[in-house]
Structure 1
Amino acid sequence: MLLSLTIHNFILIDKIEINFNKGFTVITGETGSGKSLIIDALLYCLGERLSTDIIRKHTDKGFVESVFSIELIPHIKAALQANNYEVNPLLIIRREFTNKGTSRCFINDSPATQSFVKVIASSLADFHGQHENQLLLHHENHLAVLDAIAHLETYIDTYYLLWNQLQQSIFSYQDLIKQELQLLEKKEYSLFQLHEIEDISPEPTELSDLEHQLSVIQHAAQLYESSHNLYVLLYNSENSARDSLIKSQLLLQQLSTIDHSFQLYLDECTQAIASISEISTFASAYCSSLNFEDNTINRIQERLSLLYRLKKKYGSYDSIFNIWNQLKEDIRIASNFDDELRIKKEDILRIKTELSVLAVELSEKRIAAAYTIKESIELTLQSIGIEHPIFSVQIHQIPSLHNEIDAMSMSISIHNDYVKVKSSGIDIVEFLISTNPGEIPKPLSKAASGGEISRIMLAIKAMMAHIDKIPVIVFDEIDTGISGRIAQKVGFLIQDIGSKRQVIAISHSPQIAALADNHILVQKKIIDDRAYVTTTLLSNAEKIEHIASLISGNNITPSSYEHALELIQAKKLL
């Protein structure tokens, strides 16, 4: 639930803070008063892109801050926790911007990327405006609407992974064919390089190991003398450190029998004797291990010379092993090219078989959902003034052409027919509608008016409100193209959605505004030649007066006041 929205230096808005309540909140105001700026500011806060000139004139910086209650939204809490954000019952999202066109996002006062804010926002609020209405006119968008209503996201994700695997396998097969001539041409040189490396057969850590050994041998005299002196000093001399510590240990034993406070130091002395013995043993063994033989140095230097030659030729020591592996793979493929093609082709056919099963399952789920959607939307459209709707969800596939039916095409066999396969499945979905008796359903762009499109989208949103878990729905001028009795029916539907979700709607309609639980009035005032946008949460008395003004204009008459009361009372009768 959206609790508050604070806007500072955003276009015409100097500074406003709006507190929201649950249920249905309507925002009204004259044309140009700044109603849509509030929605734009919320969209911007939640990660959407807007033009760079959003900052109020003669200011350097601004911000938009929204506060949501997420106590009942566990998946948002989990996403925040997974990305190391502080998790509280309240989620604060803030976006700061400057007159230089830069912006920064914050979640609970910690920096956040714009993309992550958008991910979180997609589970917080669903926006609907004229842009969405226009999208509904294009059938390319209908599949996504159907899938969202039917909650097929999990099935689509599983399908997409396999579809992507098929695409990559086909690309790999095609690349292999292109590489055939190239691999055969360079096979002889690849064999030469392979033999050159394998004759030397370097080991991954061999170069550093030999360099270390050579350094030790070259400093052997110094190392021998120093390690021998260390051994003598600590262990093998008349007044060695170990002998002195043993004498100290005896004294500490005597003292500790009299005063137990010496026991701690006796333990430390005993530990020191053990450490010196360990160091002495290592120093003695190290002296014995040193090798002064010239042939050892020569052998290491000769081996290093071979390794340095390979390193110089192939760029770096690590790259030798990468090239070595690639050479072996290239020669293997060149020597067994037909087998490689066969294996890849068999893999593609296997994936296509598996993909066909998933595609059919996904298509069947869409067909089943289409029937439910048809019934629900027709009932909803009847409730908002379209008395005889026929809503149809048309689902079909695109057949593959004859010359596309082969293992390497993005087509699969469905019930002995070949159809094109896409990242979203095999289905083409289009919504059709008839709003008048006796008319056959036609595409929305040809059969529905602007007001009807708004109501179809509202019917879809109403259906999704029963299904999805997004807590806030925002309608920007949902009443476009409707008025009077139809507007009131639309208002009843929005009121019903508001009983399940928080609804925020911009409206010019008195019939819709009267049914709201909360009413915010937006006004634009001119002070010292500057425009200021203000918001007011109307009391019940102010709400009646304002709705009366929506009916009759500034000249409120007794009849318009009485009509406003009737419209408000209609809500109470529900």
Structure 2
Amino acid sequence: MLRRLTIRDFVLVDRLDLEFSEGFGALTGETGAGKSILLDALSLLLGDRADSAMVRAGCERAEIAGTFEFVDGGGVHAWLADNDIAPDEILLVRRIVESGGRSRAYVNGSPVTAAQLKALGELVADIHGQHAHQALLRSDAQRELLDTHAGSTLLARDVAQAWRAWQQAKREREEAVTQGEASAREREMLVWQLNEAEALAFDPAGWQQTNESHQRLAHAAGLIDGAGAALASLDEDEPAIATEVERLAGRLAELARFDAQLSPIAELIAGAGIQLGEAVAELRRYRDRLELDPEALAECERRIGAVTQFSRKYRVSPDEILGLVDAWRTRLAAIERASDLQLLELAEAEVAARYRELASRLSEQRRRAARTLGAQVTDAMQELAMAGGRFEIGLSAADPGTIHGLEVVDFLVAANPHQEPRPLAKVASGGELSRIGLAIQVIASEAQAVPTLVFDEVDVGIGGRVAEVVGRRLRELGRRCQVLCVTHLPQVAARADWQWQISKETVGGATLSRVAVLDPAARIEEIARMLGGERITDTTRSHAAEMLGVEQVGS
């Protein structure tokens, strides 16, 4: 639950440090005092969209920080683990909005995205805004509320995924039917191209060897002549270079007997003579291996011509041929799979069966939840000045199904005993809609595991005995979880376990919101103000004390 909330430079708030208690707390104050600003700050902290207008005028940034307690092993603990954030005994959430509109968020000191923050926020608090009952007129909101009450949110997501898989398989099967002729032509072309590639039998290593052989064979005559000329100069002509070097080395060796300085030079020349001898031997072997082979040359040229023609035809280099052939094989395999109608029909049937299985389970959970929620809201309507009224949840078949399941969810209401239930949007008046919406929200919240529930003036349009019922309901809800309610009704505020007063004051020309924690005496004054308006009399104070006294005695 929420334990602390720190607000800095947010809208009309310059600095607030609030500590929250358990049970049911009421936030009251005059109209325009900024009661809803606190809940707006909490909503921002838990993932609502940030806006530069939230930053107090003249400030660089707004900052909201909250401290929450949570139960180990619950949804928050799992969220922390999934997002690689180390758990602690408490949950620290911080959000900063700069005057330029940029926002940052941190959980236990680790930065998180707005989407991550919103997912976490759904686990720690459920906020019902001033116009939440209006959302109940939308079919998607009705369906989501029913699924939440039924504990079927995750199953509904699985159904949506199965529906998408089914529709994809259906499209693939239909495309195979409508594009069968074109696919057949493409398959025929791919088979022909692959046969051509198979006949070419291109191999990168072989291609390199062919090019090297071609170079050698194409210049065989010149190589033979060149090798012969070199041999002649080195060893066969008169005088031969190798012989002359050997003779010169011997002569210098003899002279070295008279001058030792010639010895190193003689050794160098002798070494050169040895290397020349080795070169002559290698050159002779090379020349003996060389031969003119027109047939081998012609075969190399034929091979090079075939590869070059293939490359030009398909606009690739020889190095890209194997990649092209692999792409053809992949595409051919895809066409063969896609053209196998029997296989596609089987795949479609499998995912359709999976969808129907999940959707049927969802339908059963919805039916059970619709019965219980309908009965509970009907009972609540009797207390909310709608005696004889009935609330039902219609589940009309949507054949063969939709992304949301096998039925359409519709909230139905009969305001009077003898009326047939009709869609909520067509029957309920403004006041009735407020009461029905509040009943649905409170009852639906009782089935949720969220530790903190927030109601922002959801009691608009009601009063008198109905307001007392709402206050009692919220107090009962506060025994299970933490409940915060912004209210203008004294009957609701009097039922709270604790109460804050929100007010405005002008400081240095700036209008700021202030929060006062009310003790018993201050609560009497605030309830009296809510009862009597600007002029508070002893009678209204007595009435306020009586309301609080009855609450204290009955609590």
Task: Give the shorter-chain TM-score range.
Answer: 0.7 to 0.9
The equivalent of 1:126 in structure 2 is: 126
Alignment size in residue pairs: 465
Q: What aligned pairs does 1:202-217 form with structure 2 within 5 A after superposition?
A: none
Kindly indicate whether the alpha-carbon contact (under 8 Å) linking 1:524 and 1:533 is maintained by their aligned counterparts in 2. Answer: yes
Q: 1:179 to 1:322 in 2, by over 3 A?
A: farther
The equivalent of 1:12 in structure 2 is: 12
The equivalent of 1:541 in structure 2 is: 521
Kindly indicate whether the alpha-carbon contact (under 8 Å) linking 2:438 and 2:459 is maintained by their aligned counterparts in 1. Answer: no
The equivalent of 2:153 in structure 1 is: 153
Kindly indicate whether the alpha-carbon contact (under 8 Å) linking 2:52 and 2:97 is maintained by their aligned counterparts in 1. Answer: no
Kindly indicate whether the alpha-carbon contact (under 8 Å) linking 2:384 and 2:466 is maintained by their aligned counterparts in 1. Answer: yes
Cα distance in 1, alignment partners of residues 321 and 61 from structure 2: 53
Kindly indicate whether the alpha-carbon contact (under 8 Å) linking 1:163 and 1:423 is maintained by their aligned counterparts in 2. Answer: yes
Q: What aligned pairs does 1:41-440 form with structure 2 within 5 A after superposition?
A: 41-72=41-72, 74-199=74-199, 312-313=316-317, 319-320=323-324, 322-329=326-333, 332=336, 337=339, 340-398=340-398, 419-440=399-420
Cα distance in 2, alignment partners of residues 102 and 184 from structure 1: 55
Q: 1:555 to 1:395 in 2, by over 3 A?
A: same
- Aligned to 1:535, the other structure's residue is in SS state strand
Deviations 1:372-411 (A, max 9, x none): 222211222223333222111111114xxxxxxxxxxxxx
Asked whether 1:511 is paired with 2:501, we answer no
TM-score in terms of structure 1 length: 0.74
Q: 1:327 to 1:152 in 2, by over 3 A?
A: closer
Q: Which runs of 5+ in 1 are unaligned?
A: 215-291, 399-418
Between 1:2-11 and 1:169-178, the stretch displaced more is 169-178
Offset at residue 343 of structure 1 (A): 2.3
Cα distance in 1, alignment partners of residues 402 and 377 from structure 2: 28
Deviations 1:271-309 (A, max 9, x none): xxxxxxxxxxxxxxxxxxxxx999xxx9xxx99x97996
| Aligned pair partner of 1:563 in 537, 543, 548 | 543
Deviations 1:297-344 (A, max 9, x none): x9xxx99x979969944996885465143243156369xx4xx12321
Kindly indicate whether the alpha-carbon contact (under 8 Å) linking 1:314 and 1:320 is maintained by their aligned counterparts in 2. Answer: no
Cα distance in 2, alignment partners of residues 173 and 434 from structure 1: 47
- Aligned to 1:487, the other structure's residue is in SS state helix
Offset at residue 18 of structure 1 (A): 1.5
Asked whether 1:488 is paired with 2:468, we answer yes
Offset at residue 27 of structure 1 (A): 0.8
The equivalent of 2:437 in structure 1 is: 457
Offset at residue 57 of structure 1 (A): 1.1
Offset at residue 442 of structure 1 (A): 2.3
Kindly indicate whether the alpha-carbon contact (under 8 Å) linking 1:191 and 1:331 is maintained by their aligned counterparts in 2. Answer: no
Q: Which runs of 5+ in 2 are unaligned?
A: 213-285, 291-296, 298-302
Cα distance in 1, alignment partners of residues 110 and 88 from structure 2: 13
Aligned letter for 2:329?
N
Kindly indicate whether the alpha-carbon contact (under 8 Å) linking 2:434 and 2:459 is maintained by their aligned counterparts in 1. Answer: yes
Kindly indicate whether the alpha-carbon contact (under 8 Å) linking 2:132 and 2:458 is maintained by their aligned counterparts in 1. Answer: no
Offset at residue 22 of structure 1 (A): 0.7
- Aligned to 2:143, the other structure's residue is in SS state helix
Deviations 1:382-441 (A, max 9, x none): 23333222111111114xxxxxxxxxxxxxxxxxxxx23101111012111123333332
Kindly indicate whether the alpha-carbon contact (under 8 Å) linking 1:377 and 1:463 is maintained by their aligned counterparts in 2. Answer: yes
Offset at residue 24 of structure 1 (A): 0.7
Deviations 1:79-136 (A, max 9, x none): 2122111211211111111111111111111111110111111111111123321111
Kindly indicate whether the alpha-carbon contact (under 8 Å) linking 2:504 and 2:512 is maintained by their aligned counterparts in 1. Answer: yes
The equivalent of 2:271 in structure 1 is: none
- Aligned to 1:503, the other structure's residue is in SS state strand
Offset at residue 466 of structure 1 (A): 3.2
Cα distance in 2, alignment partners of residues 315 and 333 from structure 1: 29
- Aligned to 2:52, the other structure's residue is in SS state coil
The equivalent of 1:238 in structure 2 is: none
The equivalent of 1:467 in structure 2 is: 447
Between 1:184-193 and 1:21-30, the stretch displaced more is 184-193
Cα distance in 1, alignment partners of residues 394 and 316 from structure 2: 66
Cα distance in 2, alignment partners of residues 59 and 530 from structure 1: 12
The equivalent of 1:236 in structure 2 is: none
Cα distance in 1, alignment partners of residues 465 and 540 from structure 2: 16
| Aligned pair partner of 2:532 in 552, 560, 570 | 552
Aligned letter for 2:165?
Q
Q: 1:92 to 1:306 in 2, by over 3 A?
A: farther
TM-score in terms of structure 2 length: 0.76
Q: 1:420 to 1:52 in 2, by over 3 A?
A: farther
Kindly indicate whether the alpha-carbon contact (under 8 Å) linking 1:190 and 1:331 is maintained by their aligned counterparts in 2. Answer: no
Larger Rg: 2
Cα distance in 2, alignment partners of residues 558 and 318 from structure 1: 97
The equivalent of 2:22 in structure 1 is: 22
- Aligned to 2:515, the other structure's residue is in SS state strand
- Aligned to 1:123, the other structure's residue is in SS state helix
Aligned letter for 1:530?
A
Kindly indicate whether the alpha-carbon contact (under 8 Å) linking 1:465 and 1:501 is maintained by their aligned counterparts in 2. Answer: no
Kindly indicate whether the alpha-carbon contact (under 8 Å) linking 1:450 and 1:480 is maintained by their aligned counterparts in 2. Answer: no
Cα distance in 2, alignment partners of residues 378 and 519 from structure 1: 30
Asked whether 1:522 is paired with 2:502, we answer yes
Between 1:99-108 and 1:128-137, the stretch displaced more is 128-137
Cα distance in 2, alignment partners of residues 448 and 202 from structure 1: 78
The equivalent of 2:228 in structure 1 is: none
- Aligned to 1:427, the other structure's residue is in SS state strand
Q: 1:316 to 1:60 in 2, by over 3 A?
A: farther
The equivalent of 1:239 in structure 2 is: none
Kindly indicate whether the alpha-carbon contact (under 8 Å) linking 2:105 and 2:114 is maintained by their aligned counterparts in 1. Answer: yes
Between 1:87-96 and 1:325-334, the stretch displaced more is 325-334
The equivalent of 2:247 in structure 1 is: none
Kindly indicate whether the alpha-carbon contact (under 8 Å) linking 1:197 and 1:324 is maintained by their aligned counterparts in 2. Answer: no
Kindly indicate whether the alpha-carbon contact (under 8 Å) linking 1:194 and 1:324 is maintained by their aligned counterparts in 2. Answer: yes
Kindly indicate whether the alpha-carbon contact (under 8 Å) linking 1:133 and 1:453 is maintained by their aligned counterparts in 2. Answer: yes
Aligned letter for 1:58?
G
Offset at residue 519 of structure 1 (A): 0.9
Fraction of identical pairs, as percent: 29
Deviations 1:550-570 (A, max 9, x none): 111232211111111121123
Cα distance in 1, alignment partners of residues 371 and 315 from structure 2: 68
Kindly indicate whether the alpha-carbon contact (under 8 Å) linking 2:494 and 2:551 is maintained by their aligned counterparts in 1. Answer: yes
Kindly indicate whether the alpha-carbon contact (under 8 Å) linking 2:391 and 2:411 is maintained by their aligned counterparts in 1. Answer: yes
Q: 1:184 to 1:381 in 2, by over 3 A?
A: same
- Aligned to 2:386, the other structure's residue is in SS state coil
